[in-house]
Amino acid sequence: MKTNFIFFILILFLISCSTPKENPPNIILIMADDLGYGDISCFGSDFIQTPVLDKLASEGIRFTDYHSNGSVCTPTRAALMTGNYQQRAGLEGVIYAAMGKRIYGLASSEKTLAEYFKEAGYATGIFGKWHLGYKPEFKPTLHGFDEFYGYVSGNVDFISHRDGIGLYDWWHNTDTCYDEGYVTDLITDYALKFMERNKEKPFLLYLPHEAPHYPYQGRNDKADRLPGVKFHAHGSRPDKKQAYKEMVEIMDENIGRVMMKLTELGIDDNTLVIFCSDNGATNLGDNGGLRGYKISLWEGGHRVPAVAWFPGKIKAGTVSNSTVLCMDWLPTLLSVAGVQVEDKFDGVDISAVLFRQKEIEKRTVFWRYRNQWVARKGDWKYLKNKEGEYLFNLKDDVVEQNNLLDSNVEKTNELKELLREWEREMERYKQQTD
Ligand SMILES: [Ca+2]
């Protein structure tokens, strides 16, 4: 009798695991490029006004301790797409536009966020910046996206769509295509069409914005990168700070268009919207008082703004202090969509943070980029860079001024050992997959 009962419970459990959610939610993942911790008003900016993002934060959740996996573009995107440390995919550095540097990219052996969702019956679209490889086999439509409009470089002229070495870089799926328009507006136009076409089925919409990455150009500026014309990578506008502000505000306005479309299509109550940045700001932006900028592994290089919105599911006005990394989105989104997979990820499911106002278990996380290393466990951060070695307690010292390395040797050694273990694991993985 008892055996029968256990068997019955087991069958019920298996049925509940294998049945997809009846009405799986749409996912919209919006990522800014080089936006700093203090660059939007709900994270403290007085200079830049972002009413749409502020509303999303007030109706949803705001993360105070959210981090990009990389302090530059490509590594963060590799981690976002795979749910793992970018080191596993071998994409620890930037893929540059220079000829001869265009050989790297996201290998087809890597299973991406888009591939998981496509398999689960989602329509998948990416509109904007890819930055995970130039070669045909690296293109997003060969990595699980049904549709791609955008560019594959780190940045393009917002008007002429030419990359850092002046080559035209605008694509529809695997073909180059001519398109007129300011990048931020243009990728939103495509995103809205994608939403319209797929309103009847669940969709994953990835919208990686260019703003506020250089070249610093507003909507009414002229193209700087044109054939046969010498140009400066950062653009020709003298008032770059003002251009930067315009770029973020135009992005905010366009996120507003996405939100209005959700309402118009009547799917706003079944859509999770996530917004984050891919690394910290340069010195033109505002990292909210955090030390360092993009590229560095000081907090200013990777602690970035993030918000999420899902009406009726995420409690309005939630503020989370959990340490979250961008590699956590993949396992989290699979869980939100009710998709069961066997695969293991470095990232963790943060659904409890989103929907139940819980903090996730404190864990140790790592960063490594160009002779800089970080091990972070709870509030403790060990940092090694060219200038030296540091230990900070971020709870009391988020601006990293008070080096506790010598006064807490035990903690320093613990974090250094964890870092060594992590590096060994990354190396082991590399040897297995090479
Ligand atoms: Ca970036």
pLDDT digits (tens, 9 = 90+) for 80-134: 999 999 999 999 999 999 988 899 999 999 999 999 999 999 999 999 999 999 9
**3 CA to centre of ligand 1 in angstroms:** 57
Contact present, 110 and 89 (Cβ < 8 Å)? yes
Catalytic residue among 42, 67, 73, 209: 73
The angle that helices 329-336 and 73-82 make with each other, rounded to 10 degrees, is 30
Place of tokens 């193209």: 223
**264 CA to centre of ligand 1 in angstroms:** 32
* End-to-end Cα, the chain, rounded Å: 53
Backbone angles phi, psi at 5, to 5 degrees: -65, -45
Contact present, 382 and 390 (Cβ < 8 Å)? yes
For this structure, is 73 an active site residue? yes
For this structure, is 42 an active site residue? no
Sort strands 364-368 and 388-393 into parallel, antiparallel or unpaired: unpaired
Cis peptide leading into 311, omega within 30 of 0?
A: no
Contact present, 274 and 30 (Cβ < 8 Å)? yes
Give the residue ranges of DSSP H helices in 212-366: 240-264, 299-302, 329-336, 351-356
| pLDDT for 16 | 46
Place of tokens 């294998």: 18
**73 CA to centre of ligand 1 in angstroms:** 4
**5 CA to centre of ligand 1 in angstroms:** 55
**278 CA to centre of ligand 1 in angstroms:** 5
Contact present, 27 and 341 (Cβ < 8 Å)? no
Contact present, 37 and 399 (Cβ < 8 Å)? no
| pLDDT for 115 | 98
| pLDDT for 7 | 58
Catalytic residue among 17, 42, 67, 131: 131
Nearest Cα to Cα of residue 307 among 286, 291, 329 = 329
Contact present, 35 and 284 (Cβ < 8 Å)? no
| pLDDT for 432 | 82
CB atoms within 10 A of CB 173: 14
Contact present, 317 and 58 (Cβ < 8 Å)? yes
**207 CA to centre of ligand 1 in angstroms:** 14
Nearest Cα to Cα of residue 154 among 133, 187, 186, 131 = 131
| pLDDT for 22 | 79
Question: Exposed, middle or buried by CB within 10 Å (0-12, 13-18, 19+), for 179?
Answer: middle
Calpha distance 30→304 (Å, rounded): 13
Low-confidence spans in the chain with pLDDT less than 50: 1, 15-19
Calpha distance 43→185 (Å, rounded): 24
Give the count of alpha carbons within 13 A of 163, CB side only. 21
Sort strands 203-208 and 123-129 into parallel, antiparallel or unpaired: parallel
Calpha distance 332→344 (Å, rounded): 12
**69 CA to centre of ligand 1 in angstroms:** 11
Nearest Cα to Cα of residue 61 among 352, 433, 377, 386 = 352
* Predicted model pTM: 0.95
Place of tokens 């003298």: 238
